[in-house]
Chain A
C-alpha cells in the first residue's frame, strides 16, 4: 500500500489509566505503519503533554514506558495537538508543555477528519 492514510486519535485518558498505554501503543503502531497520525489530547489526556509528566509513567509492563512511546511516536512523524480549554483549565501555558506539541482546537482536528481520516477515541 503506497498511499498515506490519515488517522486521528482523540485521547482523553490520564496518567492513572491503563487505556493511555493502549492509546499510545496504537499511535506508535500506526506511525510505524506509514500512516499520518495526529493525537488530539483532551481533558485528562492533556497531562501527557506537560513537561516531565510522561518521564516515569509505565502503565502496562508489556508496553514500553509512556515517555518512550511518545518520543518514538514523534520520531516517526506523529503529531500531537492539545485542546486549548483543556490545557487552560489545568493552568498549563505553552511553557508548561513539551515543545513538540501544538495547542490547537477542534477545527484543526476536524480538518483532518473532513478530508477522510480514520478516527479512534480513548
Chain B
C-alpha cells in the first residue's frame, strides 16, 4: 500500500530477510543513528514486515511515511 510518494530518505538500511526480533532490534538501532525528523529507508523482504513494521511504528510513534513492500520509509519521532 502506498502511503505517498517515496521521499528521499536521510539514510538507508538493508534488513535483508531478517524478521521478528532481529528486524525490529536492527530497525531501532538504525533509527537511533538519526536525528529527530530525519528518515530511514528500510528494505525488508520478510513476509511479516508489512505488519511488523507498521505496528512497531504505531507503538513507538515513529511515523511510517511510505510503504511499498519491501521498501519502508520511517521518520524518527521527536520523542
Task: Report which A residues bind B (CB closer than 8 A).
Answer: 1-2, 24-29, 32-34, 62-64, 69, 72, 76
A1 to B58, CA, bound (A): 7
Count residues on chain B whose CB falls below 8 Å from chain A CBs: 15
Binding site secondary structure of chain B = helix
Residues of B within 8 A of A2 (CB): 61, 79
B4: CB under 8 A from chain A? no
Chain A binder among B20-28, B35-43, B63-71: B20-28
Contact assessment for A26 and B61 in the assembled complex, using a CB-CB cutoff below 8 Å: no
A–B Cβ pairs within 8 angstroms, 19 of them: A1-B58, A1-B60, A24-B21, A25-B20, A27-B21, A28-B24, A28-B25, A29-B21, A29-B24, A32-B21, A32-B24, A32-B56, A33-B28, A33-B59, A34-B60, A64-B21, A64-B25, A72-B25, A72-B29
Contact assessment for B27 and A32 in the assembled complex, using a CB-CB cutoff below 8 Å: yes
Residues of A within 8 A of B60 (CB): 1, 33-34
